[in-house]
Homo-oligomer: A and B are copies of this chain.
Amino acid sequence: MRIHVQNLPGDPQFAVTPAQWDAAAARAPDVSGGHAVTFGETPEAFQAAIGEAEAVVAQTGAVRRLFPADAPRLKLIYCTSAGLDSLAPFNWLPPGAALLNNRGTHGAKVSEYGIMALLMLAAGVPGFVTAQRAGRWAPRHGSVLAGRRVTVAGLGTLGGAVAEQAARFGMRVTGVRTRAEPHPACTEVVALDELDSVLGGTEFLALALPLTDATRGVLDRRRLALLPPGAGVVNIGRGALLDQDALCDALEGGHLSGAVLDVFVPEPVPPGHRLWTTPNLVMTPHVSADDPDTYVPLSLDIFFQNLRAFSDGEPLPNQFDTTRGY
C-alpha cells in the first residue's frame, strides 16, 4: 500500500517521525510490511504524494489545509486527533475514502487532567490562585472527593477516563451521553436531553463531549443557573460547548465556586480577553489530553489496528461518522 505521512511544519512534539513509524511498525509486524511510505510537511510534498496515495496519516491541521485534493486512490485518511470538528463540513472528503480519528490515544493523560481538575475544585485552588494574584491569604478548607457528586457529560475516551478516575476516588458519578446506556464507572447515566434533570444535584460538572450541532452551547446561561450555588465546572471537550460569557458572569457573581478550563473560543485566547482576569478560574492552554511522550506511538498503534481491520475487510474501529460528528 502507498502510505503518505503528512506533518505540520514546526510541530516537533506531535509530528510523526520515520523512527516512530518504524518502531510502531515493529509492534504490528503482521500489517506493517510491504508498504511504500513517504513523509512530508510542505504542500509540495503532499501534492507529490497524494495522487498515488492509498492511505494518509496526517495531523488534523494539515488535512484542514490540504484538502480537497485530487486523490483518486485514497481509501483511508487517518487524523492524529480525536475531535475532528475543525474539518466540518466534510464535503472535502474524497469519494471512497474513510475518515479515521485517533480515538483512544488520549485516555491516560486526560484521566489525570480530569482528576487533577476535580481535586483542584474540591480544594478551592481556583480561588487560592485568584487570592494569590491579589497577594491575599484567604484560607478555606475543602473536603475530600469521596462521596461527592460529579456529572460527566460525554462518556467517550475522555469522559469515560475521567469518570473512571472519579469513581476510583469514591465519587458518585452521573454520566451524560447521547443515549442513557449504563457505564461501569457511573452510578447513573442520563441521556443528553435529560441533562437539566441532574444539574441541581451536581457539585462538579465535567464537560467531555465532542462538538456537534447537538452539543454546541450545551452549557448555556440557563443551565449554568440550574447548577447549585458553589458548584465547579471543568471543560476538557471544546470551548464552544459552553457560553463563555455566562460562565465568566457566574464566576464573577459567585454562583460558581470555581472552574478549570482547558479549551476556549477562540484559541489561542487573545491578550486582553475577559477570561484572563475572571476570578476563580484556572486556564490551561489546550493541553489536557496530549502526552508528548506517548501521543505519536499510541496514535500509530491505533492506525495499524485500523489498517489490520481494513486488510481483513472488517469494520474500522476508528471510523469517524461525519453525520454524527464523532
Contacts and interface: CB of A to CB of B under 8 A. Distances in A.
A141 B287 contact: yes
A324 interface: no
Nearest to A264: B137
A91 interface: no
Contacts of A273: 135
A284 B135 contact: no
A140 interface: yes
A140 B287 contact: yes
Copies of this chain present: 2
Interface string A133-173: 10111111111111000000000000000000000010000
A125 B284 CA distance: 7
Closest 10 pairs between A and B when the two form their complex, measured CB to CB: A137-B268, A116-B119, A135-B276, A139-B285, A143-B293, A141-B292, A128-B284, A135-B271, A143-B291, A132-B283
20 contacts: A13-B141, A112-B122, A112-B123, A113-B119, A113-B123, A115-B119, A116-B119, A119-B119, A120-B120, A123-B287, A123-B288, A128-B284, A128-B285, A129-B129, A129-B282, A133-B133, A137-B267, A137-B268, A141-B292, A143-B293
Given A120-B120, A132-B282, A144 B287 contact: no
Contacts of A283: 128, 132
- Classify chain A: how many residues form its interface, as a range: 35 or more
Given A113-B119, A128-B287, 9 more contacts: A112-B122, A112-B145, A116-B119, A125-B284, A129-B129, A132-B276, A137-B285, A140-B287, A144-B294
A103 interface: no
A144 B108 CA distance: 7
Interface string A265-307: 0011101110011000011111110111110000000000000
A267 B123 CA distance: 19
Contacts of A124: 284, 287
Indicate the member of A120, A137, A145, A276 with the most B CB atoms within 10 Å.
A137
A258 to B, nearest CB: 13
A109 interface: yes
Nearest to A140: B287
Interface in A19-62: none
A288 to B, nearest CB: 8
A265 B17 CA distance: 49
A294 B141 CA distance: 11
Contact of A287 (B13, B139, B169, B268): B139
Nearest to A281: B132
A116 B120 contact: yes
B135 A272 contact: yes
